Structure 1
Amino acid sequence: MGEQVPDLSVVVPMYDEQEVLPIFFDRMRPLLDGLGVSYELLVVDDGSRDATASMLLAAATDWPQLRLVRLLRNSGHQAAISAGFRRARGNYVVTIDADLQDPPEVIAELLATARDRDVDVVYGVRSDRSSDSWAKRTTARMYYRLMCRLVGRDIPFDAADFRLVSRRVVDAVNALPEDGRVFRLVIPWLGFPSAEVRYVRAERAAGVTKYNLRKMLRLAFDSVTAFSAAPLRLATWLGLFGGLLSVAFVIGALAIKLTGQSIPGWTSTVLAVAVIGAIQLLCLGLLGEYVARLFQSSQKRPQFLVGYDSLDDSGHQALEREILPT
């Protein structure tokens, strides 16, 4: 690939994507070759357990712009994007998933928009989410509305991790000290000039989604706790509400006692214990999320570890022995 800095880096996080790779190659290579700019296709293999890495190595033998960065273990989607940001060399960087739900053909429009309008960020915004289930569309709207309130800045609705950013945005993100960053919140929060390009989201080209309900919930928790102390204030208000509710119970119990209408029973006791207990557990859970983030930060463990980068030829044979069949 030489030492020349490419105009464009396309960062693609992948995890167990062997089924979609042939289609991905067929669509991505002619598109990038036809852009008329120098580029690198930087694929971050997030510790895949299938043949993803070996297929990428095989494709790279006659595709010099294809660059493989392999993480030592599965570190998660956002961590893989972080690794791509750290390693990307282009003046512009596009992030896109491998499943082809975000059409690669839109990359040309992202690049043209950035240049024509002189902006640092161009978001790919889904104009049609009919390929998603009703539940996913509904929860996505709730997520973006909540994030707009917590972050205190407008976040493009239906804009996930398909975007183009300039080199100065990449440098600004890489300079941030925190780990576990959520890119769909970090980049709008930085406040660089931005624009949008709308497109129709397609069905997954092949394979199955790796973003299950547990991972989506984890993303939501990370988004909230990384960007706002509002849940801690919510815990305070819930504690105040619980205290007022307890006072109301005491006043009610005294009033019933003084009027001689008290009837021995367990309903009011169970109700009071259940309400106060639920509030306490919720507050403890919210506090636990923040304590966990502080604990992880104090350990200073890296978010990801890069085991191999095809830009560096050292260790290439060792990697082939590790992931290619003998």
Structure 2
Amino acid sequence: MRNSPSNTLLSVPSGGLQISEFPPPQLITDKTKIYFSLIIPTYKERENIVRLVKVLSELLEEVIPDDYELIVVDDDSPDRTWEVAQSMMAEYPNLRVMRRQQERGLSSAVIRGWQVARGSVLGVIDGDLQHPPEVLAQLLRSIEQGADLAVASRHIDGGGVSRWSAVRRFLSRGAQVLGLIFLPGVLGRVSDPMSGYFMVRRRCIAGVTLNPVGYKILLEVIARGNVAEIAEVGYVFCERKQGESKVTWKQYVEYLHHLLRLRLTTTQVGQKFSFPIGRFLRFGLVGLSGVFVDMAILYLLSDPSTLALPLTRSKIIAGEIAIFNNFLWNDAWTFADVAMQQQEWHHRAKRFLKFNLVCLAGLLINVLVLNLVFNFVIPNRYIANLIAIAVATIWNFWVNLKLSWRVTDVK
């Protein structure tokens, strides 16, 4: 292992949140370049930090022996997490520690850590053991295979959450939908834009002034960085065993603030993701079949020559049957590759519920766009209706693609 020069704390960088293309000369302790720098932002993680450093060091010594560094960036924890980490530096020479007393916040802590890092690949992992360390090997492999950014995702094959409440799941999904509306070119590039577990090539964010709000630094990296190829690795978000959760309503407010700031200050948003045309065409054909199903059921239920039920009741039943028809076809055809990974009845039931909710929102969007276009743009009800249908169809497809047909549970 490299010999650590001392067990002194790192100086906290000042000034703007900008990463240099190369490490500052005073940080290079020998001629050998470090490949990987992993930042561990902490606050009141005294009960977790010892085990985390031990596990990470053992894993990285196997994968990239003596070619890494761990940097704990602590926000002056009242339980003196930084002091515990500092006491471990003699045993783990690749460990470095920073104590921040004037600044606060996870995102800025990560960037300050990156500013003093010596690696050509920069990463971040939570300090609470909710991010499984063993996924690091797969993320590193993705970088070695050419990716600029490797993200640990809860929303692809092999990923999930262990025991989240329904409220937390709802808030997480709602936040992602808002992100897709505000920043489709950013959130549309990855399946889990809320992830705080990833690594990026230094050159992709070098020279860029980062301006994060709250916890979601990945959004900042994708939106402002020069990131071409992105790879994703599935992981299961584990429940915290020690310490206390930092998730509060404040983080959701900060997330909204961050979305608005990125929307207003980035010019490349929307240009860095590909739209799945083939899947969208299949989705459109399925939607067309739903129109015929809706019309046929409406006729059978409401026509005076058949059951003659009230029109409103007939329309609700017909609409729901059409939605069910569309769900079955989408599940078996449009999104078959995803559906095959989760075929149990409760998985299908959850997808159907999400599909229903997304379609209901799409109906509201349809009505809203219809009225806006008809009253303010084109005073032709039929053209306005076609535009409204097109907007609602794109909404239904994109949100269902990102939320309904996705692997989110594990056994």
Hey, what's the Cα distance between the residues in 2 that align with 1:135 and 1:33? Answer: 40
Q: TM-score, normalised by structure 2?
A: 0.52
Tell me how many residue pairs correspond in the alignment.
227
Structure-2 residue corresponding to 1:219? 254
State whether residues 82 and 98 of structure 2, in contact with CA within 8 Å, keep that contact through their aligned partners in structure 1: no
String of CA shifts for 1:100-125, please: whole Å, max 9, x gaps. Answer: 11101111110011112x11001100
Q: 1:166 aligns with which of 187, 201, 209?
A: 201
Hey, what's the Cα distance between the residues in 2 that align with 1:98 and 1:20? Answer: 7
Matched, 1:112 2:141: yes
State whether residues 13 and 98 of structure 1, in contact with CA within 8 Å, keep that contact through their aligned partners in structure 2: yes
Match of 2:44, SS state, is: coil
State whether residues 144 and 157 of structure 1, in contact with CA within 8 Å, keep that contact through their aligned partners in structure 2: no
Hey, what's the Cα distance between the residues in 2 that align with 1:151 and 1:87? Answer: 30
Equivalent residues in 2 for 1:1-326, closer than 5 Å: 1=4, 2-3=29-30, 4-37=32-65, 38-116=67-145, 118-126=146-154, 127-153=159-185, 154-159=188-193, 160-172=195-207, 175-176=208-209, 178=211, 180=213, 182-189=216-223, 190=225, 191-214=227-250, 216-229=251-264
- Distance verdict in 2 for CA 1:81–1:18, change over 3 Å: same
Identity among equivalent positions (%) equals 26
Structure 2: unaligned runs, 5 residues or longer = 5-28, 266-367, 369-411
Structure-1 residue corresponding to 2:291? none
Q: CA RMSD in A?
A: 2.2
State whether residues 85 and 170 of structure 1, in contact with CA within 8 Å, keep that contact through their aligned partners in structure 2: no
Deviates more, 1:104-113 or 1:42-51: 42-51
String of CA shifts for 1:217-270, please: whole Å, max 9, x gaps. Answer: 23223222212259xxxxxxxxxx9xxxxxxxxxxxxxxxxxxxxxxxxxxxxx
Match of 1:60, SS state, is: coil
- Distance verdict in 2 for CA 1:142–1:76, change over 3 Å: same
- Distance verdict in 2 for CA 1:213–1:44, change over 3 Å: same
Q: TM-score, normalised by structure 1?
A: 0.65
Hey, what's the Cα distance between the residues in 1 that align with 2:171 and 2:178? Answer: 10
The AA in structure 1 aligned to 2:237 is R
String of CA shifts for 1:253-304, please: whole Å, max 9, x gaps. Answer: xxxxxxxxxxxxxxxxxxxxxxxxxxxxxxxxxxxxxxxxxxxxxxxxxxxx
Hey, what's the Cα distance between the residues in 1 that align with 2:211 and 2:56? Answer: 33
- Distance verdict in 2 for CA 1:202–1:75, change over 3 Å: same
Q: Give 1:169 deviation, angstroms.
A: 2.0
Hey, what's the Cα distance between the residues in 2 that align with 1:21 and 1:183? Answer: 22
Q: Give 1:58 deviation, angstroms.
A: 0.6
Q: Give 1:88 deviation, angstroms.
A: 1.6
Structure-2 residue corresponding to 1:282? none
